[in-house]
Structure 1
Amino acid sequence: MRRLPAVAAAVVVALMVAFFGITLNNTMATTAQMDAIRAGAYPVSVAAGRVETQLVQMRTLSSRVIYVRTASAIDGIENSYEEIDAELSCNIQLLAEEQARTGIEGNSIQGDYQRLLEAQAELIAFCRDPEVTNAEVERFVTRSIEPIVSQLLHTNAVIMDNSTYAVEQLYVEGAARGEQTVTWAVVLMVAVLLSLALYLYLFHRRWVLQQQLQHNVEEALELAQNASDAKSQFLSNMSHDIRTPMNAIVGLTTIAGSHVDDPERMRECLGRISTSSKHLLCLINDVLDMSKIESGKIVLNEERFSFPEMVSELVTIVQPQAKSKDQQLEIVIGNVSQETVMGDSMRLNQALLNILGNAVKYTPEGGTIRFTISEGSAADDAMRIYRFTVADNGIGMSADFVRHMFDPFEREETAAVKATEGTGLGMAITKNVVEMMGGTIEVESAPGEGSTFRVAVPLRPVPDGEGDADFSAMAGMRVLVVDDDPDVLTGAVEMLVAEGLRGEAASGGRQAVSMVAEAHAAGDDYRAIVVDWVMADMDGVETVRQVRRKTAPTVPIILLSAYDWAEVEDEARAAGVTEFLSKPLFRSQLCRVLSRCCGFGQPPAHGQRREERRQLQGRVLLVEDNELNSDIACELIRQTGAQVETAANGAEAVDMVAQAPDGYYDLVFMDMRMPVMGGLEAARAICDQACQEGRKRPSIVAMTANAFASDRNQALAAGMDGFMTKPIDVRELERTLGRYLKK
């Protein structure tokens, strides 16, 4: 106790020294930053503003010569160019140095400006040449000068934004340092007051300890009450969210039963029952997934999967939801070169589906959702970083909610959010899954301005014979891509160039028709043309119709679409479309279709429609102890054309396989939890019998409600060949049957 005053004095002195040092450091740092901005960002911003004005003047002068081509007018314009250049070149030099110093991405502003000067000199020469027509001068201005000026203005705007950001950072850091200084001043003052009150504290120490004990008890009581309230709130939310689809299922089942003679009403009720049951399943899966994550029992699968197939399945699920709300779903594939990878496709699909699903839910009708995918290098040479960006123009989120949106059961308290179904678990699961895969997730959002989610996940690419097909026979082939989305256009051309083709771009139907006509007149026709279906200036079908008039009838034309093209297929083929290609557009898909259409692969039959589902041939043994589940599965399997027999438990299944002729059963669907003998034990017994007797055993696929990765691993370890979860997904069932049965 006697040492307390000395300790208090030492603490006060230390705090005073620290306060002085921090104040001095903050002042010097702020002053240095202000000097740096005064010497760098400020003159750059001023120069950028002048450059913008002078570039606009140059563009205006370039347009003026189209209308006035007298010698005096041309001389005046040339003098004006020189006057503007006298000041503009200095500003361009300053911006170029800023661009090089800060590493701002984009075209070199100095290089573009030199190109502009050369183009202007060429324009003056054109204007003085009496043999050059006004139309040729106008075309030169439009194609040579306007794009360079636009690029310079864009680069100038980027540099200006970067300088403005530096100034804004001064205010941000200044405020932070000021807050830090005030905080330390408060701490110092508190320390002084505490030292003065030290003796009073000693006399009242017992009373303070009693008060602290009472405070701890109250705090513990409050924590317990909060925990109880959180549990009650969770149960209330889950009760409401589960009862809502359950009420729909029960009510619609009653309605369907009373309208058995009305097929249309029955179909309507069944469709709604299906939607409600899927929503209920999602709620249950979210709770189970969150429970597994919090207990640390979730395990990621490491399996080979096709990136294009995964993305295609994802888009197939989301696209109908977006279409039902009249939303525009834009999918842009960047430089994805490694298309077959190792990872947990199911978990990755789940994470992306949560983000895309939220974008659809919280974007009003008629809104836009943009899904961008790209690939980049990773620190580990054996890995590649796959980046997914989902941007929407929906209702957005407040900054306060964004800070804790990944906490379980968190939902923003707004009318729009409350009107939308959800548990508040989806984003928590997404963040945990992404981080378990070694990736990152970021979000930017503002109320009324939409949200942007960025996910980066490392995946290990693996060789794929089909994806690595040799397209060298098409090297040098000239291909035109037509799309009004600049990102899709750039990505497609880069894909073609990467394969050695001469990829060229047209940003609309009218430009495409003009380019095709010019190529034909020059005797260097395009060998293939890829046209987007939906474009602003001219739709894809009309573009194809006009292009066909300008080129040879043998040139393949491929219609590209993010939608179901069935409604326009007949009209498109009549207009001259050779084949159809779906977005999202991956390199292997694009090159494979081009190879086939251009005679380097098997050509498609004229007028060929999409492949109809073929009936399967083979016999399936369904092992299921629940009679209702067995009846449902049997009916679904029979609809594919396959024959099906049933067993009520694992022991019965082992006997039926043992007594059947060799090769009698092609596939066994095995439930995991059954009386008498479970699925794991039965699978081991079937494998052991086949090995001992030298027989070919049937393929075994688990069909179970045990949906976790640990259950999958146990099934594979028991000798099973595949794994399916209940409730049965019809598409997954058909894919599984198609893998093991004959068509």
Structure 2
Amino acid sequence: MNEPIIDQNLLAYILSLFGIPGNAAADTGNLRSEPSSAQPDWRLRTARSIIRFMDRMPDGFLIYHADPAAKIIYANLALLHICQCDSPEDFRKLTGNSFQGFVHPDDGNTTEQSIRNQITQNRSGPDYITYRIKRKDGAVRWIEDYRHLIRTDTGGELFFVFINDATEKNEFLQKEWALQRQIDRYHAEMKLINQEYLRRLEVIEGLSIHYESILYADLELDIIQPYRLSNRTTLQFENTNKPRSFSWYISNYVNVWVHPEDRKSVTEQTSPEYIRRKLSAQNTFYLNYKVIKDSEIQYLQLRIVNVTGSSQVSQIVMGYRRVDDEIRKEMEQKRLLEEALTNANLAITAKNTFLSNMSHDMRTPLNAIFGFTALARGNLYDQTSLEYYLNKISSSGEQLLDLIDKVLEIAWTGSDDIHITETKCNLTEILETVSHAYLTLAEEKNITITSDTSGLTHCDICSDQDKLERFLSYLTHNAVKYTPKGGHITIRATELNTLPNDHAVYQFAVEDNGIGISPEFMERIYEPFEREKNTTYSGVIGTGLGLTIVKNIVTAMGGTIDVKSAIGKGTRFTVTLRLKTQVHPVSFNMSTDDTIAYLTGHKILLVEDNEINLEIETAILEGMGFHVDTAENGRIAVEMIKKAAPDEYALVLMDIQMPVMNGRQAARAIRGLKNNNLARIPIIALSADAFESDKRKSIESGMDAHLPKPIDIPVLLETIAKTIQMHKYLYGDA
């Protein structure tokens, strides 16, 4: 039978520990057997009883010295069993009969540190540590160690240690801890899942803010579950969130809410078969339809989304939202597109009509030019016939040029290229200029033209004289064309009322007693290319652009135009403008004869790169008695001005598009000369560039005026006169 590990000094230690008096050196032979004497020492019996008690303890018990050697004094049978030792010799061999040998090497440091702390702190209470041991069979076991430090008189300091094999307990705790960690991870994951779920709900709520109803449906199970309900869908679920039959819900919803016109299409597009077919090719689709609420038609959109996550479409989400504004905008956009298409078609028709008229109107003067040219060549020696033919050629050329000018003018007046340039001008002179321009044409039809400025308080104004004359000219020209022989035309300017800051409201009226305008045509009178009767039928040559140009000019000047007409009685066009009045008016009254007389004493510098134009223009100017010097580009012209005497040249007639240096560059160079008398010489542009932007660029480059080619002699003389008078006013006779 196994015996415990017992040190022979154990009896003395026990007797000392329990305070039993006696000789520690007494016989300690076989501590577990009775003494041989008839009357055994009661101390020995007590010691043996204590040892037998320790032997029978169910848990391990160990006593060892609390010194560096840690020699084991006693180990009971239960401890030997824990270590799987069959004898005390096996235990001594396993442990080296020391506590250090008893503890697993990997746990030696922590165990030793705990023991050292107990000795240092001199604690009287028990200490508890756990560590591993290695059994005889090599198995590693976990030990629970409850120890107490005992100080004896004979044995010094001893550790009394109660030992329990806690391997199963530790494994259970490890499993419990692992399970707890799993539980903690599960709780953490559930928390994250819950947070993600809430976040997704917030995202869904945010994304679906415009949807009044959101429902989840399973087509396989034929159920539909509400997520959010509107007053329309609430009735189908009886104010609860309980699921209903999908097929029943669709049928009931369609019959209760959907407009009769849309019930068939909505029923078809919400059937499981249709939904599966649509969602098999795309993740979502929608349908728009009408509903009736409170006798009012509303527009709804139902969007259906596949949320199955597999190829077999089963689970869907349905969202309902109001789309009244979108549908109305779509309908309005459709209406605008249809209107734009209609207008485009009308514009195409009008343009085709215009091209048809233009083709005739352009061919007519061209045929005349070619025909009369051929006749002129055949009658070179018949002065009377030749002069007649040349006049016809000239008239046809003017007619053709007028057509081209109007086509160009409609382009710039209808764009953003039109600008208003205010200069000092006189309304009486403007009306007289316009009326005089059409006297010859009017006299051919025995028509009288009267200009009336009696209603003006301030005749001198600051405005765009060119544009005033233009719209009055177009209106007067129309009046002459459509007034029969013996008619009368009045051009009237009236000042209605004076405004603050030297401004006044003016009305310009052109009135005739001609054929009048029909009410039907009045509605489109300002549309481009429109004519009440085409050229062929009416016998009046025209393009249908004049009134469009007038309207564009008046609008650009910030004014309004009104027309009143009666068939067979006549027409009156009235233009209302807000114009600035002159505080110190300047009167320019140089006559054509004065202009010619002034120029004959000076030279004109003609700058032109085209040889044909140079030859024609030189001949015209010299034919009027002027002395002409020429330059073929802007650089030569600048050098000639530099070398000229201060009063050598009266003015410069400058072409624009030239090689080496163009006309505008040359004008800037001249204005930059150091000699002021040379730098401020009058410069008038002569160019085929006739757009408003071209004129503006010429003025900005330093020129005084801009005239289109071909040269109109009366207009040229008038422009020269005004330019020279302005220079005299600004700079004196010098």
TM-score (structure 2 length as normaliser): 0.50
- Letter matched to residue 703 of structure 2: M
Q: Deviations over 1:584-627 (max 9, x none)?
A: xxxx99xxxxxxxxxxxxxxxxxxxx999747321111001112
> In 2, Cα distance between the equivalents of 1:218 and 1:375?
45
Report if aligned partners of 1:667, 1:700 keep a CA contact under 8 Å in 2: yes
Report if aligned partners of 1:617, 1:641 keep a CA contact under 8 Å in 2: no
Matched ranges for 1:3-18 at <5 A:
none
Task: Provide the residue aligned with 1:340 in structure 2.
Answer: 460
* Larger RCO: 1 or 2 (CA < 8 Å, sep 6+): 1
Matched ranges for 1:573-722 at <5 A:
614=597, 616-688=600-672, 690-691=673-674, 698-722=681-705
Call closer, same or farther: CA 1:611–1:642 in 2, change over 3 Å: closer
Task: Provide the residue aligned with 1:391 in structure 2.
Answer: 511
Task: Provide the residue aligned with 1:199 in structure 2.
Answer: 260
> In 1, Cα distance between the equivalents of 2:510 and 2:634?
46
> In 1, Cα distance between the equivalents of 2:676 and 2:468?
42
Call closer, same or farther: CA 1:453–1:650 in 2, change over 3 Å: same
> In 2, Cα distance between the equivalents of 1:336 and 1:704?
36
Call closer, same or farther: CA 1:466–1:697 in 2, change over 3 Å: closer
Report if aligned partners of 2:350, 2:529 keep a CA contact under 8 Å in 1: no
> In 1, Cα distance between the equivalents of 2:483 and 2:676?
61
- Letter matched to residue 732 of structure 1: V
Call closer, same or farther: CA 1:448–1:335 in 2, change over 3 Å: closer
Task: Provide the residue aligned with 1:429 in structure 2.
Answer: 549
Report if aligned partners of 2:602, 2:647 keep a CA contact under 8 Å in 1: no
Call closer, same or farther: CA 1:465–1:245 in 2, change over 3 Å: same
Matched ranges for 1:281-680 at <5 A:
281-413=401-533, 418-464=538-584, 614=597, 616-680=600-664
692-701 or 625-634: bigger deviation:
692-701
**Unmatched 5+ stretches in structure 2:** 1-210, 214-229, 233-255, 270-286, 290-329
Q: CA deviation at 1:652?
A: 2.1
Q: Deviations over 1:243-262 (max 9, x none)?
A: 22222222222222222212
> In 2, Cα distance between the equivalents of 1:267 and 1:400?
45
Report if aligned partners of 1:681, 1:718 keep a CA contact under 8 Å in 2: yes
Call closer, same or farther: CA 1:338–1:693 in 2, change over 3 Å: closer
* Residue among 214, 217, 237 paired with 2:357: 237
Call closer, same or farther: CA 1:341–1:379 in 2, change over 3 Å: closer
> In 2, Cα distance between the equivalents of 1:703 and 1:393?
39
Task: Provide the residue aligned with 1:732 in structure 2.
Answer: 715
Q: CA deviation at 1:311?
A: 1.1
Report if aligned partners of 1:672, 1:704 keep a CA contact under 8 Å in 2: yes
Report if aligned partners of 2:670, 2:679 keep a CA contact under 8 Å in 1: no
> In 1, Cα distance between the equivalents of 2:339 and 2:455?
55
SS in 1 for 2:374: helix
* Residue among 400, 413, 424 paired with 1:280: 400
Report if aligned partners of 1:286, 1:425 keep a CA contact under 8 Å in 2: yes
Please state which structure has a larger fraction of its residues in strand: 2
What is the alpha-carbon root mean square deviation over aligned residues?
3.8
- Letter matched to residue 733 of structure 1: L
- Letter matched to residue 726 of structure 1: K
> In 1, Cα distance between the equivalents of 2:461 and 2:585?
13
Call closer, same or farther: CA 1:220–1:296 in 2, change over 3 Å: closer
Report if aligned partners of 2:638, 2:670 keep a CA contact under 8 Å in 1: yes
SS in 2 for 1:691: coil
- Letter matched to residue 381 of structure 2: D
Asked which structure has the greater CA Rg, the reply is 2
Matched ranges for 1:113-262 at <5 A:
198-204=259-265, 228-262=348-382
Q: CA deviation at 1:705?
A: 1.9
Q: Deviations over 1:487-529 (max 9, x none)?
A: xxxxxxxxxxxxxxxxxxxxxxxxxxxxxxxxxxxxxxxxxxx
Q: CA deviation at 1:228?
A: 4.8
Q: CA deviation at 1:234?
A: 3.5
> In 1, Cα distance between the equivalents of 2:347 and 2:492?
41
SS in 1 for 2:393: helix
Report if aligned partners of 1:662, 1:696 keep a CA contact under 8 Å in 2: no
Q: CA deviation at 1:298?
A: 0.9
> In 2, Cα distance between the equivalents of 1:354 and 1:417?
22
Report if aligned partners of 1:382, 1:460 keep a CA contact under 8 Å in 2: yes
Q: CA deviation at 1:315?
A: 0.7
Report if aligned partners of 1:704, 1:725 keep a CA contact under 8 Å in 2: yes
SS in 1 for 2:489: strand
Call closer, same or farther: CA 1:400–1:202 in 2, change over 3 Å: farther
Q: Deviations over 1:456-506 (max 9, x none)?
A: 222211134566xxxxxxxxxxxxxxxxxxxxxxxxxxxxxxxxxxxxxxx
Task: Provide the residue aligned with 1:264 in structure 2.
Answer: 384
Report if aligned partners of 2:607, 2:634 keep a CA contact under 8 Å in 1: yes
**Unmatched 5+ stretches in structure 1:** 8-194, 468-587, 590-609
- Letter matched to residue 651 of structure 1: R
Report if aligned partners of 2:685, 2:703 keep a CA contact under 8 Å in 1: yes
Call closer, same or farther: CA 1:380–1:411 in 2, change over 3 Å: farther
SS in 2 for 1:342: strand
Call closer, same or farther: CA 1:431–1:378 in 2, change over 3 Å: farther
- Letter matched to residue 642 of structure 1: F
Task: Provide the residue aligned with 1:103 in structure 2.
Answer: none
Report if aligned partners of 1:301, 1:709 keep a CA contact under 8 Å in 2: no
> In 1, Cα distance between the equivalents of 2:574 and 2:409?
22
- Letter matched to residue 686 of structure 1: I
Between the aligned residues of both structures, percent identity stands at 35
- Letter matched to residue 198 of structure 1: H
> In 2, Cα distance between the equivalents of 1:2 and 1:712?
63
SS in 2 for 1:200: coil
Matched ranges for 1:31-110 at <5 A:
none
Task: Provide the residue aligned with 2:16 in structure 1.
Answer: none
> In 1, Cα distance between the equivalents of 2:624 and 2:443?
29
SS in 1 for 2:262: helix
Call closer, same or farther: CA 1:262–1:197 in 2, change over 3 Å: farther
Call closer, same or farther: CA 1:326–1:694 in 2, change over 3 Å: closer
> In 1, Cα distance between the equivalents of 2:491 and 2:531?
23
Q: CA deviation at 1:737?
A: 4.2
Report if aligned partners of 1:300, 1:709 keep a CA contact under 8 Å in 2: no
Report if aligned partners of 1:371, 1:391 keep a CA contact under 8 Å in 2: yes
TM-score (structure 1 length as normaliser): 0.50
Call closer, same or farther: CA 1:197–1:362 in 2, change over 3 Å: farther
Q: CA deviation at 1:313?
A: 0.8
SS in 2 for 1:331: strand
Q: CA deviation at 1:400?
A: 1.4
SS in 1 for 2:449: strand
Report if aligned partners of 1:334, 1:375 keep a CA contact under 8 Å in 2: no
Call closer, same or farther: CA 1:441–1:273 in 2, change over 3 Å: same
Q: CA deviation at 1:332?
A: 3.0
> In 1, Cα distance between the equivalents of 2:339 and 2:584?
60
> In 1, Cα distance between the equivalents of 2:662 and 2:594?
40
Q: CA deviation at 1:645?
A: 1.3
Q: CA deviation at 1:696?
A: 5.8
